[in-house]
Amino acid sequence: MSTPSTSATHSTPAPESTDPRDAAWVDPALVAQIRSDLLDHPGPLTEAAVAAAVRRSGRVLGSAALPELVARLTAQLSGAGPLQPLLDRPGVTDVFVNGPRDVWADFGDGLVPVPLSLGAESDVRALAVRLAASGGRRLDDSSPLVDVRLPDGIRVNAVIPPLSGEVTVLSFRIPRPLAFGLEDLVRDGFIPAPLVTLIAEAVSRRANLLISGGTGSGKTVLLGAMLSAAPERHRLLIVEDSRELAVAHPHVVQLSARQANVEGVGEVPLTTLVRNALRMRPDRLVVGEVRGAEVRDMLTALNTGHEGGCATIHANTCAAVPARLEALGALAGMSAAAVHAQTATAIDLLLHIRRDAAG
């Protein structure tokens, strides 16, 4: 397998300073009053609905103060509270809460501390519990950790004490559905120009491609750009754990896995989605990230006439990819020898991507 390597670089400007006062929680009594009013006036929870509830509350506010209060109330009732403005900031890809006053964010150039105060530990825990519930999951002493996808696509991982010590820990992954072409990546310094010719030719020939890289290296961005180069007549079937891929292509079908609900039922794993995708007549089968037993179904598909398949895999170096595939294959009951044999005939090109020292 060919293994050209490239480095991901970013040029997003550093975030503006955030005043900790901007993260103040709204008075709980007012939140309870507005929530009760909204229950009496059912409908979508929008800023307009919250503003109407504030007016009905009799609270006297100036024209400048009302929009700010409404935005905070809406975020606290349905969003991420004081974190919502940070999650909504253009360019942010990850936000981490290691404690009420320990917040970090990645704006494309690596992690930087953000001066936000989230109140007390009880406030952070209450936020985590509510976010889990909004995604149909439970977070409590009997289920002290959860990974959930919110209705807006943001992925949240939450861990509560004692597993996380004395503080609740939150990790947010914010999808940025911006579709890039290969030339866009060259212009932004993401990949070198000579690599575009190689990738474009591989896509044109319907080679089966695997992209490896570490966390946050840009695997998903590169995969989306590669798929954008596929012929328009091709039907792309994309299977993901959570929807992250953005592809500039006229015929794309995206399937996302589903976790079990609070009753422990309703799970739809990637293995099921990969098998179902094969029944949907894909011209190209794409697995957003291979991270479990679905590796067996993917390798089987690529070895039985499904050309032009693509996937990503987490590995810090090219040399680590075989061992990573072995580990995933073991989850599906495959021997190391079987994984090697299947991979050798299924994968035509391996691309490894990494962040450089600049991020």
Q: 77: helix, coil or strand?
A: helix
Q: 256: helix, coil or strand?
A: strand
Please state, in angstroms and rounded to a whole number, the distance separating the CA atoms of residues 324 and 233.
Answer: 34
pLDDT band at 244 (very low <50, low <70, confident <90, very high): confident
| Residue 11 confidence (pLDDT) | 38
30-34, 126-130, 198-202, range with the lowest pLDDT: 30-34
With residue 8 as reference, give the H or E element that holds it. Answer: strand 5-8
| Residue 25 confidence (pLDDT) | 67
pLDDT(10) > 90: no
Average pLDDT over residues 144-170: 92
Considering the chain, what is the average pLDDT of its residues? 86
pLDDT band at 24 (very low <50, low <70, confident <90, very high): low
pLDDT(46) > 90: no
pLDDT(1) > 60: no
Average pLDDT over residues 32-55: 79
Give 166: exposed, middle or buried? Use CB within 10 Å, 0-12, 13-18, 19+: exposed
68-82, 185-199, 315-329, range with the lowest pLDDT: 68-82
240-244, 281-285, 297-301, 332-336, range with the lowest pLDDT: 240-244
Average pLDDT over residues 77-83: 79
| Share above pLDDT 70 across residues of the chain, in percent, rounded to a whole number | 90
Per the model's pLDDT, the better-predicted residue between 181 and 109 turns out to be 181
With residue 113 as reference, give the H or E element that holds it. Answer: strand 111-114
Per the model's pLDDT, the better-predicted residue between 46 and 103 turns out to be 103
Please state, in angstroms and rounded to a whole number, the distance separating the CA atoms of residues 258 and 273.
Answer: 10
Per the model's pLDDT, the better-predicted residue between 46 and 83 turns out to be 83
Average pLDDT over residues 351-359: 77
| Share above pLDDT 90 across residues of the chain, in percent, rounded to a whole number | 54
Neighbours of 22 (CB within 10 A): 14
